[in-house]
Chains A and B, each alone.
Chain A
Amino acid sequence: MGEVIVITSGKGGVGKTTTAANIGTGLSMAGNKVILIDADIGLRNLDVVMGLENRIVYDLVNVVEKGCRLQQALIKDKRNENLFLLPAAQTRDKAAVDQDQMKELCSELKKDFDYIIIDCPAGIEQGFKNAVAGADCGIVVTTPEVSAVRDADRVIGILEASGLSNHRLIINRIRADMVKKGDMMDVEDIIEILAVKLLGIIPDDEKIIVSTNRGEPIIANDTISGRAFKNICRRISGEEVPLLDLHEKDNIFAKLRKFIRSG
């Protein structure tokens, strides 16, 4: 029986889609059968981030309206055999799907897949409620800023009220240099304030933008943010993995150590 994980945040633009693409890719690279669902109806993006935008024929709304079979709508990933995408409809609105339909779809998919990863739209309205309806657990993404953390708190409250209590937090776009200078809230502060379990941290990394430009999730590359996402995937699978040291990248000794090790 598979696990349904919804990636949510409250505030827009903090990295939900990027996270969904990387976690989905990572879990499938580790041998799991994974499906990514883009629940951001009307503003679909996950297809582009995955580099699959020109393979779409049917979408989520067609599936729940029974306009096509589920199998027809699933798009196979370019690189990973056991990774699939169910794209959002682009020309419909959030009300095209309801909570019962999402629950039904999720329980159907759980029979076939190890992980069902749902990319949630921003906000806490209908689209959010649909995305969360069939989920077993939630991953809340935030950035180290007051507004994003505040919205994360709100979302955590709503998840708890709707019976999803085993959610965990990802803090995205951390800048080690700013944290060091005291100009960015650090991980411990945010975890303490939100009183939530930490799933992982991801540095602010321009390579993520480059890989998104290419439609290739960064997790396939051996970069610091690629490793950050790999660690997150291992934690999702139940492994204990220590937090990444984000200062590593500007530490010349660490680079040297790595060079010697790999050389």
Chain B
Amino acid sequence: MSFMDLVKALLNKNPDSKEVAKERLRFVLVHDRTSISPEFLDKVKEEIIEVISRYMEIDKEATEVNFHKGEKTAMLEANLAVKEIKREVKS
């Protein structure tokens, strides 16, 4: 909050409309920039399964890939259901 905002808040005035615009813009952009389409996530999921399948047998149906976006961080979460570890890589 800038000094002028503080003064305005103390005087119980509405904030400038430009401040409201900035806040709203920041909010929609956080959302716009991190919206990942389901098709994109499906593709990521498929490729993850493809790589891991070289080493383990994966249950595709029980596997989930999700994307979470917080204030400052983003997390890609993948839960892979392993049916069996392949013999040749166990050692």
Q: Residues on A close to B: CB < 8 A?
A: 145-146, 149-150, 153-154, 157, 179, 181-186, 189, 193
Q: Given the known inter-chain contacts A153-B33, A157-B33, please indicate yes or no for A186 contacting B28, CB distance below 8 A.
A: no
User: In the bound complex, how far is the Cα of B16 from the Cα of A146, in angstroms?
Assistant: 14
Specify which chain A residues have a CB less than 8 angstroms from the CB of B22 in the assembled complex.
Answer: 185, 189, 193
Q: How far is the CA of A146 from the CA of B19 in the complex (A)?
A: 11
* Residues of chain B in range 6-35 having any CB-CB distance to chain A below 8 Å: 16-19, 21-22, 24-26, 28-29, 32-33
| Residues of the B chain whose Cβ atoms lie less than 8 Å from the Cβ of A183 | 16-18
Interchain CB contact under 8 A, A146 and B33: no
Structural contact, B21 and A153, CB atoms closer than 8 A: no
Pick 28 A–B contacts, CB within 8 A, sort by A: A146-B21, A146-B24, A146-B25, A146-B28, A149-B25, A150-B25, A150-B28, A153-B32, A154-B32, A157-B33, A179-B18, A181-B16, A182-B17, A182-B18, A182-B19, A183-B17, A183-B18, A184-B18, A185-B21, A185-B22, A185-B25, A186-B18, A189-B18, A189-B22, A193-B22, A193-B25, A193-B26, A193-B29
Apart from A145-B21, A153-B29, A193-B26, 20 more pairs, CB < 8 Å: A146-B21, A146-B25, A150-B25, A150-B32, A153-B32, A179-B18, A182-B16, A182-B18, A182-B19, A183-B16, A183-B17, A183-B18, A184-B18, A185-B18, A185-B21, A185-B22, A186-B18, A189-B22, A193-B22, A193-B25
Chain B residues engaging chain A, CB cutoff 8 angstroms? 16-19, 21-22, 24-26, 28-29, 32-33
Give the interface SS of chain B, mostly helix, strand, loop or mixed: helix
Residues of B within 8 A of A153 (CB): 29, 32-33
CB distance from A43 to the nearest CB of B (A): 26
Report the Cα distance A181→B33, complex, angstroms: 30
Query: What is the bound-complex CA distance between A228 and B33, given in angstroms?
Result: 31
**Which B residue's beta carbon lies closest to that of A189?**
B22
Give the residue name and chain of the B residue nearest to A157 (CB): B33
Q: B60 to chain A: closest CB distance in Å? A: 29
Once the chains are docked, how many angstroms separate the CA of A179 from the CA of B21?
12
Residues of chain A lying within 8 A (CB to CB) of residue B19: 182
Determine the distance from Cα of A186 to Cα of B22 in the docked complex, in whole angstroms: 10
Residues of A within 8 A of B29 (CB): 150, 153, 193
Q: Which residues of chain A are near B16, meaning CB under 8 Å? A: 181-183
User: With the chains together, A182 CA to B24 CA distance in Å?
Assistant: 15
Interface hub of A146, A153, A154 (most chain B Cβ within 10 A): A146
Q: Give the one of B17, B25, B26, B33 with max A CB within 10 A.
A: B25
Whole-angstrom CA separation of A145 from B21 in the bound complex: 8
**Complex Cα–Cα for A179 and B29 (A):** 22
The CA-CA distance from A153 to B27 in the complex, in Å, is 13
Chain B's closest residue to A192 (CB) is B22
Please, which residues of chain A bring their CB within 8 A of the CB of B21?
Answer: 145-146, 185
